[in-house]
């Protein structure tokens, strides 16, 4: 056999299986001899969605595999950032595609809508896979007509989703990774204690500035002081681990106290070289949440435009259900919440010099004679 046979040429059409792809659009309206022109657009748009979902899940699977190892290679963190960035760009396309399908008018959609029953976007297995892999667990979901989200799938697909639920999601693995952050205590430096002290000082300073100003009336001063809050308001769950754990039990927080503290540290000291990539990783997760929320909201608005208050083909409440998921299905909300806990750079605890050096990149020559 020729050793070069594995590099034999292949035709574009065969490599991409173009004939298979372009023959996969079967119009139900044609099968029923009531041709609806815009059904082709509807099918192709949703097929493209499924192809992009496949790529997103492919990237997520690779990231999850890397973070499943107890010791995550720092190089793989940078690779994960790149792959998350790719997912974000794909999600932007998913949002943009809604504008394409909106070139179809509500009346155009009604030409073939009745032929779709009971097919529905709720039956997208790959989308549910994506949600579970990211970290949206069943107990945090809005129910689908008071039934579990997987009720629309065949038994083998239900089992596949159940297996995914039992495993660790990307959110779970990022939480584990954050909990292993080694920087929270270094010698005599205790980040939590130093941060708490800095918060107290900052609030005292701002409180005094409000009280001493001559510009505001007493009424406005009182209002500003309430808006400012204190360590018993939005900083409480960081000041008190027990309170943080209570909020987790109530379903108001997801990730552990230690992981939250690590995420806070990374955000506050993101300018230190060694923390730049971890900061980007957390930022990309927040952006994925943003893009998913945008997609859900735009999808809800499109359904409102096309159907008004009609019930969806899958039997859901249509717009109302989709709009609720946009407001409730935030997977990485805890990383959004970290922004509430940020304090100005000028108020940050000063890192000991020997500690700061461990967060930078320092190089020395191997031999003085090489100078």
Tens digits of residue pLDDT in 180-209? 887 666 667 888 888 888 988 888 887 888
pLDDT at 369 over 70: no
Write the pLDDT tens digit of every residue in 60-83.
999 999 999 877 777 889 999 999
Cα–Cα distances in Å, from 37 out to 17, 42, 104, 231?
25, 10, 10, 62
Supply the pLDDT for residue 230. 57
| Tally of residues, the chain | 371
28-42, 158-172, 297-311: segment of lowest average pLDDT:
297-311
Query: For residue 315, what are its two tokens?
Result: 């039997």
- pLDDT value at residue 365: 37
Which two structure tokens, joined as six digits, stand for 19?
């004939």
Taking CA atoms, 220 is separated from 212, 217, 225, 226, in Å, by 12, 5, 9, 10
pLDDT at 315 over 80: no
Which CATH number does the domain 10-183+255-334 belong to among 1.10.645.10, 1.20.58.480, 2.40.30.10, 1.20.140.10?
1.20.58.480
Task: Determine which of 121-125, 207-211, 246-250 has the lowest per-residue pLDDT on average.
Answer: 207-211
| Distance in angstroms (rounded) separating the CA atoms of residues 148 and 153 | 11
Q: 303-312 long-range contacts, Cβ below 8 Å, gap at least 24? A: 305/102, 305/106, 306/104, 306/106, 306/109, 307/106, 307/109, 308/106, 312/120, 312/122
Q: HEC string of 253-266?
A: CCCCHHHHHHHHHH
pLDDT at 362 > cutoff 50: no
pLDDT reading at 229 higher than 90: no
Q: Which has the higher per-residue pLDDT, 284 or 368?
A: 284
Closest to 347 in 3D by CA, of 203, 198, 228, 204? 198
Mean pLDDT of the region 343-369: 70
pLDDT band (50, 70, 90) for residue 151: confident
């Amino acid at each position: 056999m020729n050793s070069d046979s594995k590099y034999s040429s292949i035709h574009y059409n065969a490599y991409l299986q173009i004939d298979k792809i372009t023959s996969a659009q079967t119009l139900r309206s044609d099968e029923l001899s009531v041709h609806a022109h815009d059904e082709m657009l509807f099918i192709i748009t949703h097929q493209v969605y499924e192809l992009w979902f496949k790529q997103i899940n492919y990237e997520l699977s690779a990231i999850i595999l890397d973070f499943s190892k107890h010791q995550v290679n720092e190089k793989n963190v940078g690779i994960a950032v790149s792959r998350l960035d790719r997912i974000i760009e794909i999600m932007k396309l998913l949002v943009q595609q809604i504008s394409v399908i909106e070139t179809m008018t509500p009346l155009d959609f009604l030409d073939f809508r009745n032929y779709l029953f009971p097919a529905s976007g709720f039956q997208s297995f790959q989308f549910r896979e994506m949600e579970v892999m990211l970290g949206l667990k069943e107990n945090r979901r809005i129910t689908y007509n008071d039934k579990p989200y997987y009720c629309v799938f065949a038994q083998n697909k239900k089992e596949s989703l159940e297996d995914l639920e039992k495993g660790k999601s990307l959110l779970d693995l990022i939480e584990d990774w954050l909990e292993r952050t080694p920087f929270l205590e270094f010698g005599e430096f205790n980040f939590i204690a130093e941060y708490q002290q800095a918060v107290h000082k900052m609030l005292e300073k701002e409180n005094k500035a409000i009280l001493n100003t001559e510009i505001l009336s007493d009424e406005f001063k009182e209002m500003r002081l309430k808006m400012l809050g204190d360590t018993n308001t939005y900083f409480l769950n960081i000041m008190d681990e027990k309170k943080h754990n209570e909020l987790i039990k109530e379903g108001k927080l997801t990730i552990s106290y230690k992981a939250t503290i690590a995420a806070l540290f990374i955000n506050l000291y993101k300018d230190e070289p060694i923390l730049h990539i971890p900061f980007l990783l957390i930022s990309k997760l927040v952006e994925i949440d943003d893009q998913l929320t945008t997609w859900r909201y735009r999808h809800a608005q499109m359904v409102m435009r096309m159907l008004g208050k009609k019930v969806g083909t899958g039997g859901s409440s249509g717009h109302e259900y989709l709009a609720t998921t946009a407001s409730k299905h935030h997977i990485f909300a805890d990383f959004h919440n970290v922004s509430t806990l940020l304090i100005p750079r000028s108020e940050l605890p000063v890192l000991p010099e020997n500690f700061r050096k461990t967060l930078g990149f320092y190089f020395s020559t191997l031999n003085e004679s090489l100078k």
